[in-house]
Amino acid sequence: MISLKMENKEIPEIELFTDGGADPNPGKGGYGVILRYKGRQKEFFEGYEITTNNRMELMAVIVGLEKIKTKSKVTVYSDSKYVVDGIEKGWAENWERNNWIRKKGNLVLNKDLWERLLDVIDEHEVTFNWVKGHAGHIENERCDALATKGINAENKIEDEGYLEYLKHIDWYQEQKIEKVGDLCRKCNTAVIKKTPKKRKIKPGQNYYYEYYLFCPNCKTMYMVEVAKREVTDNKLF
C-alpha cells in the first residue's frame, strides 16, 4: 500500500508505471509496477505459473491502482496498446454494455480482469498513456525487469482466471449443438430453430440443410446433421 498524506484535502497526483509479460505466450508470467508520489516510489512484482502477455499487462495496472487506498488522480504509463486503447477508446465500456460479447458474437477475452480494472478505475481519476516498450524509457525498463523477476520467481501463483478460461475452451471444443434449447458455444444462450426463406441448389450439390439452429443473442448459426437432406431433384427449388 502506498501511504498518502493529503494536504488541504487536495486530491493526490500519482504516477503509475506498469509492464507485464509471459514467456512463452501463454506460459510463465509476471508483472512489474512502480507507484510514484511526490518523489517517493514503491515497487511491486508477482509471478504466475501459466498466463498470457495481455493478462499480465492488465494485472499490472489493476494491482497498481488497487494499492492506492485514497481517491487520487492517477496517470498510468503502459507499453500495452491492448490495455491503453481498451480504456481510452472506450472498448472495455462497450464490451461491458454488450454483456462482454463482441460484434461477431465472440466472447471478450480476459473479461474477469477488464471487469476488475473498470471497477478500480471508478475509484479514482485515471488517465492512460502509451509508452514505447524497450526504447530506453527508464520506468518502463525497470517495470520490465520487475516482471522478469516475477517470471523467474520460484514461488509463482496460479492465474485462476486463465485456468477458468482454459476449462471453458475445453468445454467449448467438446460441446455439440444438436437440438433446440442447446446452449450456444459462444455466449451460453439457448438456440432456436430457423428455416431459410430461400434455398438454391447449385449444380453438382448433393445435399442441403432443411433448417439450422440459431443463437438469438450473438447470431451464431449451427448447421446440424439431423437437418441434412439429400438432393433428389435439382428442380425442386
Of 57, 64, 86, 150, the active-site residue reads 57
Of 29, 144, 150, 159, the active-site residue reads 144
Is 23 an active-site residue?
Answer: no
User: Degrees (nearest 5) of the Cα angle 142, 145, 147?
Assistant: 110
Q: First vs last Cα of the chain: how many Å apart?
A: 71
Calculate the alpha carbon distances from 194 to 106, 197, 204, 207 in Å: 21, 9, 25, 18
d(CA 168, CA 188): 11
The residue type found at 69 is K
Using alpha carbons, select from 159, 183, 180 the residue that is nearest to residue 172: 183
Of 20, 21, 29, 32, the active-site residue reads 20
Is 134 an active-site residue?
Answer: yes
Q: At what angle do helices 111-121 and 53-66 cross, to 10 degrees?
A: 30
Show binding-site residues for Mg(2+): 19, 57, 79, 144
Cell of residue 167, nine digits: 476449462
Is 57 an active-site residue?
Answer: yes
Of 119, 134, 158, 168, the active-site residue reads 134
Is 7 an active-site residue?
Answer: no
Question: Among all residues, which ones are annotated catalytic?
Answer: 19-20, 57, 79, 134, 144
